[in-house]
Each structure stands twice: as structure tokens, then as C-alpha cells.
Amino acid sequence: MKIKSIKAHALSVPLKYVYAVATEPFTVATQIIVEITTDNGLTGLGTIHGRAAKPVVEAVEKLSHLLIGMDAHAHEAIWAKIFALTNDGAKIYKDGDTASMGFRTAQRQPIMAAQAGIDIALWDLKGKACNLPVWRLLGGGSKEIHAYASGGYYRKDKPVEIVADEMAAYIEQGFTAVKMKTGGLPLAQDIDRVRRVREAIGPDADLMIDASRSYSLMQAVDAIHAFEPYDVFWFEEPLHWYDAIRGMAKLTQHSNTPLTCGESESHLWACRDLVDLGLVRYLNFDCTRAGGVTEWLRIASYSHAHGVLMTTHHDPQIQGHLAAAVPNGYCVEVFADEDRDPLWNNLFSQRAELRGSKLVLNDEPGFGYAINWDYVNKYRV
């Protein structure tokens, strides 16, 4: 099964409202779809999460020239070939001029993102070639995985009572765990938001909070104590991007609230350090942002050996298969609000389903999703 073509399709869908986390606003939902065809007539689909579409689409195009003709089952060899470009490409590619392909070390991020989409499409192909869903290909015994509803964004037009109503509505829909944003307001106001949400969802629901890398260590120490009375299930990405690993270990000395991190990292080595030096309890490495399935599985293995549980960031149609299959897969993040995530309800003509607090994968080969190309064409960029 040889790679015949690799294409990238980018779309950007305007959101109904401006949604904000502590560090930035969102006005669009974006996705890049990577489509790989093979000489035996199969098509593998991967998706890439992220907003800077142009450099990533260009990276996929450039990489396609290196990969066409390779064995589509050779995901490790293909992974290594792409990864080498982020480090020492000029030495490795004696037969081609990587400089003329436009890759420099400054382009690591788009290369890692392109690699994610290509690797995911290869795993989709592998499943289709074996006629197995990826969750079974990886050895999983169940197609169901615990899902939590992610929401509680900051909205200028949205008073704090409505955030509490939103989170309570998820519980009414059947979710047993919800996540909200923090860090975007002065601490006293954020405490008020968290208190209202806890009152609205009741004492039994799990409440995660996500500060989106907005606190210094000392601010995070104050915040983690202040949120303790509201029984926080995990505190996600509390610290600024530049002190996001060792600072976590210092934070754990101040509180038993479990810490979660990983979605902003792009490789195994950073996640190893989060486990070793940061003492995180849950890792939400995003295989659609960097590294793909291959890197997610390596991170899951390392985490398993250190008692760390795996969760995910966005794109449950892909990452649900991984969390469902590995021994330390704990849960997946899903978005149940169509205004915040129009892609979940419109981008697919077939996909996994949400039932209560579970993501239920299907038995179709590969990742079991099909793309609604009319929707892609409508919002293509």
C-alpha cells in the first residue's frame, strides 16, 4: 500500500459569539483535513487542530513530495523522516535540498502540525486496510470512553449567571463532568464564577477548571487554594507558558488538587518532563496539534509507567479511539454547545456519538468518520 497523493483542505467557520479563554479570544472554528490516497484505492483522513492554516497547509504540500511512494503502513519510518526535518534535515536529505523546500528550524511548529495530520491519516488508512476501527486495531476492548463537556468560556455578552446555567445544562443532558475557564478575571470574580457553577451543577458532578496558562506561580498558589472549597477535579494549565513544567511541581507542594497539562506541548520529551518534573496527574497531549497518533501512544506508554492518566484536547472523533484503547486512558474532552463548536455537528457525515457522559465510537474501519465535503467547500480558506 503505497502513498499516491497527500492533500490538505483548510476551513474556517465564523462563530456566533466571541469566546475567550484567559489568554485569547476565539472568533472562528478551524480545521485542516489531510487526505492521503494510496495505490490500492484507499483514502485516509486526518485532521489538524489550530488556527494558522496557511503555513501548515504549505508544510503538508512540501512534505507530500518526500512521502509519495512510501509504504503507507510505515508510520514510524514516515514519522522519523518528517521529524528529522525539524532538527537536522540538511544532513539527512542528501538526495534533496531541504533549504529549497523552504524548511528551516523556525518552521518546526507547522512541520509538527503537518506531521500530526499525515500520521493520523496513516492510522486511518491502517484501520481501513485491516478493516478494523482504530480502537480495535490498538487492542482496545470497548468503544465507549468517559467524556466531559468543555465550556464555560468568557463572553462579554454573557453574565456570570449564564455560565452557571450553561454548565448545569450539560449535567441535565447527561454529562457527569464539566470544565470551565478561569484566569480571565480578577481572582475574586473568578471564585464567584466557580462558586456559582458548583452550586448549579450540584455536589456530585466533577468540575474541572482551565486557566489556559494565565497565572504566575504565586498567583496560581493563591488561586488553587481559593478554588479548593469548590471541589475541583483538576486544575488545567495553570501556569504561564514559560514556566509550565517545573513550576507545576512547586504548585503541587501547595495543594492536592490534581494538575493537568500537555495540550500545548508538541512532543514526547516535553511530556516526559511534565511527568517527571511537573508531577502532573493527567496529560491532555493533543495528537491533532502535533506528533499524531504515533507520538500520543508513546506519551501514553511513558505516562502509564508513571501512574499518569491520559485525557485529550478537542477532536474526540480521533483521540477517543486512543483514550478508549490504552490502559491509562481516562476520558475525552467534548464540546456539546454547537455555537462554540459548529464543526462537531456539521463537518462529519458519519462519526462517533455522544450518549450521556460517554463518547461511543463506531465499528467502521479507521477512525469511523466521513467528511461532509459540502460544508468544507462552503468554509474553505
By the criterion CB under 5 A, which residues form the site for Mg ion? 210
- Based on CB atoms, which residue is closest to Mg ion, 264 or 362? 264
Q: Is residue 41 exposed (0-12), middle (13-18) or buried (19+ Cβ within 10 Å)?
A: exposed
- Based on CB atoms, which residue is closest to Mg ion, 210 or 341? 210
- Based on CB atoms, which residue is closest to Mg ion, 49 or 198? 49
- Based on CB atoms, which residue is closest to Mg ion, 138 or 232? 232
Q: Distance from first CA to last CA of the chain, Å, rounded?
A: 31
Q: Nearest approach, Cβ of 188 to Mg ion (angstroms)? A: 23
Q: Nearest approach, Cβ of 263 to Mg ion (angstroms)? A: 5
Q: Nearest approach, Cβ of 49 to Mg ion (angstroms)? A: 12
Q: Nearest approach, Cβ of 262 to Mg ion (angstroms)? A: 9
- Other C-beta atoms closer than 10 Å to the C-beta of 378 total 11
Any bridge partners for residue 359, and if so which? 145, 354
Distances (CA, A) of 194 to 21, 73, 96, 153, 375: 15, 47, 55, 12, 36
Which single residue brings its beta carbon nearest to Mg ion? 210
- Based on CB atoms, which residue is closest to Mg ion, 98 or 214? 214
Q: Nearest approach, Cβ of 381 to Mg ion (angstroms)? A: 24
Q: Nearest approach, Cβ of 351 to Mg ion (angstroms)? A: 22
For CA atoms 14, 291, 371, 64, give the dihedral sign: positive
DSSP state of 381: -
Residues 6+ apart with CB under 8 A from 246: 277, 278
* 269 sits in which H/E element: helix 268-276
Give me the numbers of helices (H) and strands (E) for the chain, helices first please: 15, 15
Q: Nearest approach, Cβ of 237 to Mg ion (angstroms)? A: 5
What distance in Å separates the CA atoms of residue 116 and residue 295, rounded to the nearest whole number?
9
Task: Tell me how long the chain is.
Answer: 381
- Based on CB atoms, which residue is closest to Mg ion, 78 or 310? 310
- Based on CB atoms, which residue is closest to Mg ion, 140 or 238? 238
What distance in Å separates the CA atoms of residue 184 and residue 20, rounded to the nearest whole number?
8
